Structure 1
Amino acid sequence: MISEEKKKVLDLFGQGRKQYKLMEFEKARQFFAQALEIDPEDGPSKVYYLRCKHYIENPPPEDWDGVFVMNTK
């Protein structure tokens, strides 16, 4: 059974992903930050939070397909 905390994290993550796909990176980052406040060890929220930070600083092209390309190891 999933705890109420985990359900909330999953909901916030889902909302963040929707905003991420719409290229609304600041809004998405806020959802991921809220999820991390509940569960600081949530790996997917950590990854997407950092990706949002990257895209806020380095916006992708208008025809972005949602794929994150790593440029360094």
Structure 2
Amino acid sequence: MASDKMKAVLVHYNHALSLYKSRKFAEAKEEFKKGLAILPEDGPSKLYIERCDDYIADPPPEDWDGVYNMKTK
């Protein structure tokens, strides 16, 4: 069973993911950071923060389907 800490992280993560998919990258980044404050080793949140930074700097096209395309290998 998930710990209370993990449940709290999941609340932030799910909210952040919803913001991310709605192209609200700055808001999503802040929500992912709230999850990391609870569980600093949360890899998925770290990854999405990097993606949010990428999309804040260079937004995806208007027809973006939510898929992240890596720019480097």
TM-score (norm 1): 0.96
Number of positions where the alignment pairs a residue of Structure 1 with one of Structure 2? 73
Q: Which amino acid aligns with 1:51?
A: R
Q: Which amino acid aligns with 1:54?
A: D
What displacement does 1:59 show? 0.5
1:63 corresponding residue in structure 2 = 63
2:30 corresponding residue in structure 1 = 30
The runs of at least 4 consecutive aligned structure 1 residues that moved more than 6 Å come to none
> Which whole-Å CA distance do the structure 1 matches of 2:45 and 2:36 have between them?
7
1:16 corresponding residue in structure 2 = 16
Q: Deviations over 1:5-31 (max 9, x none)?
A: 100001100000000000000110011
1:43 corresponding residue in structure 2 = 43
Structure 1 unmatched runs, 5+: none
What displacement does 1:66 show? 0.4
> Which whole-Å CA distance do the structure 2 matches of 1:60 and 1:71 have between them?
12
Q: Structure 1 vs Structure 2: percent identity of aligned residues? A: 49
